[in-house]
Amino acid sequence: MYDKQVVRRRRAVLALLVGLSIVMLTGYFGESSGGPFHRFQAGVQTILSPIEAGASRAFQPVRDVAGWFGDVFDAKGENEELEKDLAEARTQLAEAQTLVRDDAQLRKLAQLPQREGFPNTERVTARVIWKSPTAWYSTIQVNKGKSDGVKVDQPVITGDGLVGKVTQVTGGTSVVTLITDAESSVSAQIQPDGANGIVQPSVGDPNDMRLRFIQKGHPVREGAIVVTSGFASGKLDSIFPRGIPIGRVTNVESDQLELYREVRIRPYADFRRIDYVQILTSRQEQPAAIGGGTG
């Protein structure tokens, strides 16, 4: 009973407030700008205006903090997006540089056999999958083996020239010992004079090799081209066919007391940056044995 009376009173008060609102609105819109209702509105605004300004100033730091957090989160999101874009750009650049480098090496490999005097042999192109971790640059491993016709002692070249020979073979991989290995020896010939000698490494510097045992009387000049001679040594055949470029003469040493001369050469191949090689899988008929040479 009590609850019903409370509800009736609230309904009556609500109806009264609605009626007063309607009357005030009707009077407000029906009177002139100087009427009592307009004056009442202006007075209320005058009273409440300082309160509104104070509240606005009081809550300004809160709004500023909220805005700062919003800006921080927006900036963090943009930074993460920029870092992602930068990482993708670096990856694309690395891939592009790798492709350019691979393309350059493969082009050289395709062009080398077109040089005059280069041996006409069958070749297998292989990719380097492992390199000697030391500074001697003595061995590499490639991704071609017995199943591709690769055998021990077959010559290995890059697009610049001779780099070594196959020394170990499995079904799908091969180990190549480079001519920079301390035990390497290659029968060589200086062009165009034809002086013969043995190319051996200067241990520790793959860019400096020595052509030894050149008989005196042969004029040797700096800049002369050195190629494989293909000559046999005693009863052993040379494993390198004639005409593969090795390097260029950089210095001629002269010693009047020695029977043989020695020159220094710079190899054409860059042993630090070998990514692709070709293995010469067929043999040409070698010239008859004349003079020294072990490879």
pLDDT digits (tens, 9 = 90+) for 240-258: 888 999 999 998 876 555 6
282-198-156 Cα angle (round to 5):
30
Domain region containing 40: 31-114
Answer yes or no: do 217 and 96 share one domain.
no
Assess if residue 142 is contained within a domain: yes
Answer yes or no: do 128 and 215 share one domain.
yes
Assess if residue 155 is contained within a domain: yes
Q: Look at the chain and report how many structural domains it folds into.
A: 2
Who wins on pLDDT, 160 or 2?
160
Answer yes or no: do 55 and 189 share one domain.
no
Q: Average model confidence (pLDDT) for the chain?
A: 76
CATH code, 187: 2.40.10.340
Q: Which of 139-153, 206-220, 278-292 has the highest mean pLDDT?
A: 139-153
What is the model's pLDDT at position 21? Answer: 62
Answer yes or no: do 131 and 270 share one domain.
yes
Residue 228: band (very low, low, confident or very high) from pLDDT cuts 50, 70, 90: very high
Preceding peptide of 192 cis, ω within 30°? yes
Answer yes or no: do 98 and 186 share one domain.
no
Q: Which two tokens stand for residue 200?
A: 């051996």
Choose the final residue of a domain: 60, 87, 114: 114
Assess if residue 137 is contained within a domain: yes
Assess if residue 164 is contained within a domain: yes
Answer yes or no: do 70 and 163 share one domain.
no
Whether 208 shows a pLDDT value over 70: the answer reads: yes
Alpha-carbon gap, residue 271 to 177, rounded angstroms: 11
Choose the final residue of a domain: 114, 133, 152: 114
54, 103, 188, 278 from 148: Cα distances, Å: 88, 22, 28, 12
Assess if residue 47 is contained within a domain: yes
In this structure, which amino acid lies at residue 216?
Answer: K
What is the pairing mode between strands 123-131 and 139-142? antiparallel
Answer yes or no: do 36 and 74 share one domain.
yes
Q: Which of 55-69, 177-191, 217-231 has the highest mean pLDDT?
A: 177-191
Q: 144-170 in b/e burial notation, b at 16+ Cβ within 10 A?
A: bbeebebeeebbbbbbbbbbbbbbebe
Answer yes or no: do 152 and 257 share one domain.
yes
Answer yes or no: do 90 and 132 share one domain.
no
Assess if residue 7 is contained within a domain: no
* pLDDT tens digits along 50-80: 655 655 665 566 566 666 666 666 777 777 7
Answer yes or no: do 97 and 135 share one domain.
no
Who wins on pLDDT, 231 or 19?
231
Answer yes or no: do 276 and 138 share one domain.
yes
Answer yes or no: do 144 and 265 share one domain.
yes
Assess if residue 42 is contained within a domain: yes
Choose the final residue of a domain: 114, 134, 155: 114
Give 59's Cβ-side CA count (13 Å radius).
6
